[in-house]
Amino acid sequence: MRRISKVIKALPSVFVVGLALMISAMMAYGCERSATNTAKRGKSSTDKAELSIAVASSVKPAMDAIVLAWAKVRPDVEVTVTFGASGNLYAQIVNGAPFDIFYSADTLFPEKLIEMNVGLRDSLRTYATGQLVIWAATATGLDVRRGFELLSDTKVRHIAIANPEHAPYGRAAREAITLAGVAEVATPKLVLGANVEQTAQFAQSGAADVAIIPLSLARTPRLGTSGAYWSVPQRLYRMIEHGVVRIANANSSSVAAEFDAYVAGPDALRMLEQAGLGRSE
């Protein structure tokens, strides 16, 4: 009895100590960050420019290659790339996250930022186009070339798509299922991933039999070697346009503009195309 009461008694104090630790850690981190920021800024005026990019995680493979290539063009610029869900990055930018430019997985978030005067109106453009594929792991023995007819197969019990409520690729997947005329059989089989990566994971782990995911994901080595994909015909869904916007009070606005010009150029376009984010195929 004494031991348990001791444990329970300790709970609130553990809570308070934990909270205090967390707050102090956050403060220390904040100080450190602003300290390095000012240190870097002080330096940047003399030798090195800085560029901070926020990128939707579905664009990661292409953006990694582009940033690497750009480092050869402008070796004097120190680039930091932050990957995340477009919605999370949007919320961070609205609340003052120090990004110079934002590569979203749709056009809605950049447009919202412009509406709020956080994004620069003239900087908005479509930098990539997403395409939809049906993907199945080799281990399932399913032939993805059967396309939407495959979704009606009784062997397919779970179909993973990203949550249509907030994921553009999820919305497109649902649209395609409806237009392909298999909504009635497919809808009860749907399971929803929080984002496209998780959706792919459902199918890769075998928990779901097939997944409807972006071509850019199906092309990654991880999924490319463990399964096969079938491109969903473009008449079945609205194109998933990826928008970019520069942030109004960015620290290095001119460098950001220069970087985006490179992303619009032929070298970067080829890399986007390779990653499955080309204008069309």
CB of residue 257 to other proteins, shortest distance in Å: 28
Nearer to other proteins, 31 or 207 (CB): 207
List b or e across 43-67, with b for residues whose CB sees 16 or more CB atoms inside 10 angstroms: ebeeeebbbbbbbbbbbbbbbebbb
Helix (H, G, I), strand (E, B) or coil at 134: strand
The pair of structure tokens assigned to 30 is 């904040």
Binding residues for other proteins (CB under 8 A): 1-5, 7-9, 11-12, 85, 87-88, 90-91, 112, 139, 157-158, 160, 163, 165-167, 190-194, 198, 201-202, 205-208
> Least distance from C-beta 260 to other proteins, angstroms?
25
Residue 151 or 256 having the CB closest to other proteins: 151
Q: What's at 135, amino acid-wise?
A: W
Pull the structure tokens for residue 216: 């850019």
39 sits in which H/E element: helix 2-44
Closer residue to other proteins (CB): 75 or 188: 188
* Residue 18 or 233 with smaller CB distance to other proteins: 18
C-beta of residue 124 within 8 angstroms of C-beta of residue 264? no
For other proteins, give the closer residue by CB, 178 or 234. 178
Nearest distance, CB of residue 202 and other proteins, angstroms: 7
What 3-state DSSP class applies to 133? strand
Q: Are 244 and 102 in contact (CB under 8 A)?
A: yes
Contact 19, 220 (CB under 8 A): no
